[in-house]
Structure 1
Amino acid sequence: MKNIKYLFISLLAVLFVACDDDFDTPNVTEPVQGTAPVLNELTEEVDLVLMKKNEDETIVELTWSESTFADPIGVRYYVQIDTVGNEFADPLEFDRIAETTTAIKVGALNELISGRYPPAKKVELEARIRAFANEDLNSLYSNAVSMKVTPYLDVPIPSEFYIYGTATSESDVTKALKAYGANDVFTKYLKLTKDGLFKFAEKQASDGYDYNFGKFATKSDNIEAAGDNAGNFKFTGETGWYKVEADFVSSALTITSHVVESTTYGFDYDNLYLVGGYNSTDPEWDPANAVAMTKVSEGVFTIEKSIKDGALFKFIGQQSWGDLDWGNLYGKGNSGILGPKTANDNITFDGGDAVYNITVDLNAGTYTIEAKPVFPTELYMTGSGVGPDDENWDWINKLQFVPVHSHPELFWKIVWMKGSGEFKCAPQPEWAGNDFGREGDATNGVYAKGGTNIPVPATAGYYMVVVDLANNTIEIAEPKVYGMGNVFGGWEGGDPADLFTVDNTNKVIKFDGVPNDGELRMYVDAPTLNCDWWQAEFIVLNDKIEFRGTGGDQERVNVTAGDNISLNFLTGAGSITTP
């Protein structure tokens, strides 16, 4: 019995020592009691639409009390965000904070929640503070505060905005159509074609930011993804004239028709009129006598007018103050962006009483005011390579170009070129300045306006020279003369059967045996001679070639079937002979 007693005492001693060790070094894997942080209530309700432009602004400042743990361990804090009512079952969390206060900024909150919540839709959130010491200790949590926010799709907001694509009148980004922008909302009125594609760019260049289908959170029902690699939008509405609005505040893209009273705006009208106070000649703000513009093509109208300083004007679709009315989009000015009634104001312009070409393009939603170029009324050439053999850089035998009727920028001449030498052009038959030739090397026979001499082709013969002063080009091409009139069977022009033969051996351009009796006219053609046949026509009268130029209609010249026509452009002689 004595041995058993000592064994019992030894066991008690062992147990006592073990308990004493536990008291001195507590097991930190067990929960440790502490004081949870207390989050201050918000002073006012947060109900905010988040916007990219405000990404550096503070939404709310959170402040809370310090949290303490049983052991003197450093504490870090984390702001947690979750949906109201989710009881922080799956919280989102900001980076750690050492202090007991933090400012939540627009951009930071939007970045945190954008992967979970869709843009442009309001969501109710709550925030709380998680206090953390180390991995072996349970975190402590504060009470929660709530807020309502509408996140945004995080894309750059452009300073300028352009639309282009097959749904519009411009498919090339370098010619993309500019929209009006204010307060991060961009608006454009233009023609859109059903099932056409489009997208947006920040500039008229391919290296700009690409605003494709994924850059807007919501889109109207008439827009869908094109499903191509470029990320284009597809317009599924009917072809018509629409308001396109890209709202970067709400990340929404909408396309809607424009309606005034009972009128839905379109793009194809027979008439458009200029009205306002723009010069001292036309009626001032008198719609009943508004001046009709010329319809160039579907949706495109033009007019040439003198414009004074301080001019105000707009365009109307009827000779009255009716529903069809276009001007400068969203206010007075000269932006070039067209706006309809209820969304426009007067166009303002200081014209200095000069003449301008005013163009309205409803398809593109634009208007332009361009000064009418002042071109010389005469043009000449001289040089060692053109004209008679005895002419060599002098004006004795002046070689005058033929002006093109109704195209003051265009001049043409069929001239004998000697196979060697050069030439230049001038607006007068003497060396008095303003002469011009080529600039740089020739490309495809077209020479840019400049100051150096133009070499003639290496083969002697007749050549057609066309000068386009508007585009600063000089073209040297094969001469083409066509017969025109009922003697050739009609007035359509361009039939290969009506083309004259170039006979360089005899230095004439001729047609042997005209096919019918009747009226004869002729005209020249060339790739850069952009005009109708009658604007570059001529006749043979009294054995001379008579050019229409800028004059009126020419005399009627009749010939008999089988007659031969011969034209000597070197001497200016022409003949009509019967075999």
Structure 2
Amino acid sequence: NGLLTAVSNVTSVMVTPYALTYPTFYLVGAASYIPTPASAPGWDAAAAQILYKKDNKSIIYTYMKPANFRFLGQQAWGPTNYSIDAPGTDAASRYFKQTSTNIIFGDNENMKFTDPEGIYMLEIDADGTKQSLKATPSPLGYKYDNLYLVGSMNGWSDTNAMPMTKVSEGVFEITTAVATDAEFKFLGQKSWDGALEWGHILKDNNGNSGFLGPKGDNSNIVYKGAGGNKITVNLKAGTYTIQ
């Protein structure tokens, strides 16, 4: 019938997926708990507080007060700074497209936190479609008289929880053997029924990142080191260390 049939060559296309990488954020500024330098507390880039990062989210439960702050991309003033995306902000530092109502423009480099002082959950969503920052009050503060260690080292017995020594407001420590794979949490009372409880940051998230989460948003701390004997907790910073 005069029709021609054409057959084309088969072409293969190989697609290589790449994992998205998200920024690491360091908190710095007068709004933070950072005590240094003495002449301008909070503005010590070398002491800037890193946030816990999981996928596109960066989170920390930490002290904030009404004052200016920003985030750095490193523990130094350059090259990367992150602030609110507003006309008055230096162009290179414009990042956060959305912020909670208690975070506003501060100056050409900084944002300003406006809520009363206390412990807040800072949450950054670095997804390119969001680039958001919000500060939500934590259910727990940091000014407590007592803190106790409870976990595999004492059979998870709340009534026999191990007392920690208060070093300063919000800072406690204890010297005890911490074996590899030891699991534990911290209590503000010798009972699981009380409100004062801290563990590894976020629910269903056992680990040993050094970040704390309050009751309702924590998991077990699981120590993976070679053995330690001193645990220090800083409820104001939202962190712990094992040495």
Q: The TM-score by the shorter chain falls in which range?
A: 0.7 to 0.9
Partner of 2:80: 209
- Tell me: higher relative CO, structure 1 or 2? Use CA pairs within 8 A at least 6 residues apart: 2
| Per-residue deviation, residues 189-214 of structure 1 (Å, max 9, x unmatched) | 10111x22211112212224100122
CA–CA separation in structure 1 for the residues paired with 2:78 and 2:104: 25
What number of residue pairs does the alignment pair up? Answer: 203
CA–CA separation in structure 2 for the residues paired with 1:207 and 1:363: 27
Instruction: Pick one of 118, 122, 126 that aligns with 1:240.
Output: 118
How big is the shift at 1:169?
1.6
Stretches of structure 1 lacking an aligned partner (at least 5 in a row): 1-52, 55-155, 259-263, 371-579
Partner amino acid, structure 1, of 2:172? F
Q: Residues 351, 210 of structure 1: CA spacing in aligned structure 2 closer, same or farther, 3 A cutoff?
A: closer
| Per-residue deviation, residues 428-448 of structure 1 (Å, max 9, x unmatched) | xxxxxxxxxxxxxxxxxxxxx
Instruction: Pick one of 191, 200, 205 that aligns with 1:328.
Output: 200
CA–CA separation in structure 1 for the residues paired with 2:30 and 2:49: 12
Q: Residues 325, 225 of structure 1: CA spacing in aligned structure 2 closer, same or farther, 3 A cutoff?
A: same
Q: Residues 355, 185 of structure 1: CA spacing in aligned structure 2 closer, same or farther, 3 A cutoff?
A: closer
| Per-residue deviation, residues 236-257 of structure 1 (Å, max 9, x unmatched) | 1011111001112222211011
Partner of 1:313: 184
How big is the shift at 1:266?
0.8
How big is the shift at 1:306?
1.1
CA–CA separation in structure 2 for the residues paired with 1:288 and 1:186: 35
Instruction: Pick one of 159, 162, 166 that aligns with 2:30.
Output: 166
Q: Does residue 192 in structure 1 map to residue 64 in structure 2?
A: yes
DSSP-derived class of the 2:62 partner: strand
Partner of 1:267: 142
| Per-residue deviation, residues 546-571 of structure 1 (Å, max 9, x unmatched) | xxxxxxxxxxxxxxxxxxxxxxxxxx
Partner of 1:221: 101
Partner of 2:162: 291
| Per-residue deviation, residues 1-28 of structure 1 (Å, max 9, x unmatched) | xxxxxxxxxxxxxxxxxxxxxxxxxxxx
DSSP-derived class of the 1:287 partner: coil
DSSP-derived class of the 1:174 partner: helix
CA–CA separation in structure 2 for the residues paired with 1:181 and 1:355: 25
Q: Is the 8 A contact 1:293 1:301 kept in 2?
A: yes
Q: Does residue 183 in structure 1 map to residue 47 in structure 2?
A: no
Partner amino acid, structure 2, of 1:368? T
Partner amino acid, structure 1, of 2:28? Y
How big is the shift at 1:220?
1.0
Stretches of structure 2 lacking an aligned partner (at least 5 in a row): 1-18, 35-41, 86-94
CA–CA separation in structure 1 for the residues paired with 2:175 and 2:225: 13
CA–CA separation in structure 2 for the residues paired with 1:342 and 1:252: 23
CA–CA separation in structure 2 for the residues paired with 1:298 and 1:273: 15
Partner amino acid, structure 1, of 2:145? D
For 1:89-168, what aligned pairs fall within 5 Å after superposition? 157-158=22-23, 160-168=24-32
Partner of 1:368: 241
| Per-residue deviation, residues 301-320 of structure 1 (Å, max 9, x unmatched) | 11111122221111111111
Partner of 1:338: 212
CA–CA separation in structure 1 for the residues paired with 2:228 and 2:134: 40
For 1:387-398, what aligned pairs fall within 5 Å after superposition? none
TM-score (norm 1): 0.34
DSSP-derived class of the 2:159 partner: helix
Runs of 4+ in 1 over 3 A off after TM superposition: none
Partner of 1:552: none
Q: Percent identity?
A: 42
Q: Residues 208, 286 of structure 1: CA spacing in aligned structure 2 closer, same or farther, 3 A cutoff?
A: farther
Partner amino acid, structure 1, of 2:59? T
Q: Residues 309, 157 of structure 1: CA spacing in aligned structure 2 closer, same or farther, 3 A cutoff?
A: closer
Q: Is the 8 A contact 2:64 2:113 kept in 1?
A: yes
Partner amino acid, structure 1, of 2:132? A
CA–CA separation in structure 1 for the residues paired with 2:214 and 2:84: 27
CA–CA separation in structure 1 for the residues paired with 2:158 and 2:56: 36
Q: Is the 8 A contact 1:307 1:350 kept in 2?
A: no
More helix per residue: 1
Q: Is the 8 A contact 1:276 1:312 kept in 2?
A: yes
Q: Is the 8 A contact 2:173 2:230 kept in 1?
A: yes
Q: Residues 339, 208 of structure 1: CA spacing in aligned structure 2 closer, same or farther, 3 A cutoff?
A: farther
CA–CA separation in structure 2 for the residues paired with 1:343 and 1:173: 29
How big is the shift at 1:351?
5.7
CA–CA separation in structure 2 for the residues paired with 1:355 and 1:242: 30
How big is the shift at 1:292?
1.1
CA–CA separation in structure 1 for the residues paired with 2:178 and 2:104: 45
Partner of 1:302: 173
Partner amino acid, structure 2, of 1:318? Q
CA–CA separation in structure 2 for the residues paired with 1:285 and 1:305: 15
Partner amino acid, structure 1, of 2:58? F
How big is the shift at 1:157?
4.0
Larger Rg: 1
How big is the shift at 1:345?
1.1
Partner amino acid, structure 2, of 1:242? Y
How big is the shift at 1:323?
2.0
DSSP-derived class of the 2:144 partner: coil
DSSP-derived class of the 1:289 partner: coil
